[in-house]
């Protein structure tokens, strides 16, 4: 089965409801506690009000909005577990983040089981533990494309900050032992090293680099993007993720994209809290998302780490999406990328 030439017709969604039943599930995660700066928590409202729903409807998606996760009962968890000792109870806001990720896990799982596309609006990247584990509960063969300047694969022992937004990958892979983080008693590691491909990496901590290397995880740094070109990077990505580990056959797998806006160069995406020079260009970022949507295998998507409080005014250009009404640059960029995930330009990509 040839999945990688440029001539195959646009496929229907292989794992979601199609046609008139095609439904976009949306959940907002209004948090900032995975990192230190205010701003990411207001992003879900800005994205919704800035044109998201009109964009989705323009591509014939039905919409089911699961609301925003803003408050969680972390105090009740602490009360019920006051006599339990946790090795990593010193991590910043970890009780709240654990409870929040559980709520997100449940909503994402429900969307996947209902055959809906799961769109998670962050918020910081600490939410990915809940979104990915939830979708993977519905699609056990789920593969993850992680677009980011950072791998977010630190453990509490290797983290220089104690901020959870730098740890969700380590948690998903089981590098953080079960029962060591308060609020995460519900969580069990659900991913293997073969489930992940990283694209856009350029700012890694020393121990994190070694852990990724030791685990033999597929990583495309910005050096690789420049060396091979984004087209070849994506071709290699799909061949890696779609390879059956038992039969060596190439077959479709459901794909989740976890998109940290700082994967894009700050000259294009300024409104984020952890800027890193030398990132993806606009066209490379869009290519990643559009080419993945083209496979028909994309079932879920995180848009995280946009900080409207740090953003620049938007300069509008001829040809911009008419449904996007936000006035800040990085918010508009986030909506453009989501638009690509939902099908924009697919009719020109046969």
Distance between CA atoms of residues 151 and 165, nearest Å: 10
The DSSP H or E segment spanning 62 is strand 62-69
CA 235 from chain center: how many Å? 20
CA dist 245 to 94, 190, 215, 224, Å? 35, 16, 16, 24
CA dist 269 to 19, 278, 325, 328, 331, Å? 34, 12, 17, 10, 9
Distance between CA atoms of residues 117 and 61, nearest Å: 10
Distance between CA atoms of residues 131 and 144, nearest Å: 11
* Residue of 118, 104, 95 lying closest to 68 (CA atoms): 104
Distance between CA atoms of residues 127 and 143, nearest Å: 17
Q: How far apart are the first and last CA of the chain?
A: 17
> Which are the catalytic amino acids?
125, 148, 150, 152, 165, 260, 262, 305
* Residue of 2, 63, 9, 60 lying closest to 294 (CA atoms): 9
Distance between CA atoms of residues 111 and 285, nearest Å: 26
Neighbours of 102 (CB within 10 A): 21
3-state SS class at 339: helix
Start-end of H helices in the chain: 43-47, 53-58, 74-80, 94-113, 128-138, 168-172, 206-214, 222-228, 230-241, 282-294, 329-341
């Amino acid at each position: 089965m040839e999945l990688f030439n440029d001539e195959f017709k646009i496929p229907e969604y292989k794992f979601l409801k199609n046609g008139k039943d095609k439904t976009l599930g949306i959940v907002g995660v209004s948090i900032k506690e995975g990192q230190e700066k205010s701003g990411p928590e207001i992003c879900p409202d800005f994205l919704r009000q800035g044109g998201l729903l009109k964009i989705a409807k323009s591509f014939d998606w039905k919409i089911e909005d699961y609301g925003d996760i803003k408050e969680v009962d972390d105090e009740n968890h602490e009360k019920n577990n006051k006599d339990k000792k946790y090795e990593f109870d010193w991590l910043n806001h970890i009780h709240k983040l654990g409870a929040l990720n559980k709520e997100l896990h449940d909503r994402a799982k429900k969307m996947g089981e209902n055959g809906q596309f799961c769109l998670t609006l962050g918020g910081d990247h600490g939410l990915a533990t809940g979104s990915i584990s939830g979708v993977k509960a519905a699609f056990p063969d789920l593969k993850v494309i992680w677009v980011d300047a950072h791998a977010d694969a630190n453990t509490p022992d290797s983290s220089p900050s104690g901020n959870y937004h730098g740890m969700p990958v380590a948690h998903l892979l089981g590098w953080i032992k079960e029962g060591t983080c308060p609020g995460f008693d519900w969580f069990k590691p659900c991913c293997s090293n073969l489930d992940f491909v990283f694209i856009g990496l350029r700012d890694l901590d020393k121990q994190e680099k070694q852990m990724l290397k030791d685990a033999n995880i597929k990583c495309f740094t910005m050096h690789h993007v420049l060396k091979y070109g984004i087209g070849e990077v994506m071709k290699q990505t799909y061949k890696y993720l779609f390879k059956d580990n038992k039969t060596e056959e190439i077959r479709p797998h459901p794909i989740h994209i976890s998109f940290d806006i700082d994967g894009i160069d700050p000259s294009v995406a300024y409104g984020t809290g952890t800027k890193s020079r030398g990132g993806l260009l606009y066209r490379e970022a869009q290519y990643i998302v559009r080419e993945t949507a083209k496979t028909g295998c994309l079932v879920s998507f995180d848009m995280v780490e946009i900080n409207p409080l740090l953003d620049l005014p938007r300069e509008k250009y001829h040809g911009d999406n008419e449904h996007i009404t936000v006035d800040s640059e990085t918010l508009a960029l986030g909506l453009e990328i989501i638009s690509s995930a939902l099908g924009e330009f697919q009719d020109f990509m046969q």
